[in-house]
Amino acid sequence: MSDTIARVHPNRLKGLEIGWANASLRRNPYNQRICPICSKTFERRGNRKSSGKNPPCCSKVCKSESQKLTALGFTHARRPKEGIKRNCKVCHCEFQKPKSQDSLYCSLKCRVSDPTVFDAISGGRHYNWKGGITRGNQTLRKSRTARQWRKIVLLRDKSTCLMCGFTATRYMRAHHVLPWAKYPQYRFLVGNGMTLCFWCHEYIHERN
């Protein structure tokens, strides 16, 4: 036991109980591990416990290969999952989920491909439905009249922010003094517009 402790650097025993240190050093005095990729024996620094997802590797190259294999589905030995086996509603494949998750799909791809999921909450069946005004509003905001109004407002103010004085050709916004939604009759009135930079424009809308 004394020979085993003598071979280890004294800093490794600092702050550890003697019983725990003797037991750990007797099993693996140099914290040696075997690389799962190249089967090389190496000394792992840091915590003696291995990570739950990927085992420790000898180098960054082997670690990258291990992560690639994990992404492809070649998982390392781990504790088997506990749960209830079910059949996917779309692809009818068998999958396993915990008891707390009452899932009908094996993956997000299958859930998105099921048309009944979005039909139940689309259109007038959604709680936030307002009669389909979004499409008309976006068409009006991107219309030729709206682009001309923005261009005239920026030319009038010489692309200078009226709050902070920032001048640039980018990051400039034409802001409606009277809001777009509340005053539709003043949407394309040049006097209702003012030039703001991106940051001041965001600040005003956050306050309101």
Q: What is the pLDDT of residues 66-82, one digit of tens each?
A: 777 776 665 554 445 56
For residues 101 and 116, is the Cβ–Cβ distance under 8 A?
no
Contact 88, 104 (CB under 8 A): yes
Q: Is 152 helix (H, G, I), strand (E, B) or coil?
A: helix
Instruction: Return the exposure string of 173-203: e unless at least 16 CB atoms fall within 10 Å of the residue's CB, then b.
Output: bbbbeeeeeeeeeebbeeebbbbbbeebbee
Instruction: Give the predicted TM-score (pTM) of the model.
Output: 0.40
Number of residues assigned to the chain: 208
Least reliable range by pLDDT among 40-49, 94-103, 147-156, 190-199? 40-49
User: Residue ranges of the domains in the chain?
Assistant: 2-71, 79-115, 143-207
Question: Which of the pair, 162 or 54, is modelled with greater confidence?
Answer: 162
**Confidence band for 154, pLDDT divided at 50, 70 and 90:** very high
DSSP, res 167: B
SS3 46: coil
Amino acid at 166: F
Q: Residue 1 — very low, low, confident or very high, per pLDDT cuts 50/70/90?
A: very low
Average predicted confidence (pLDDT) for the chain: 76
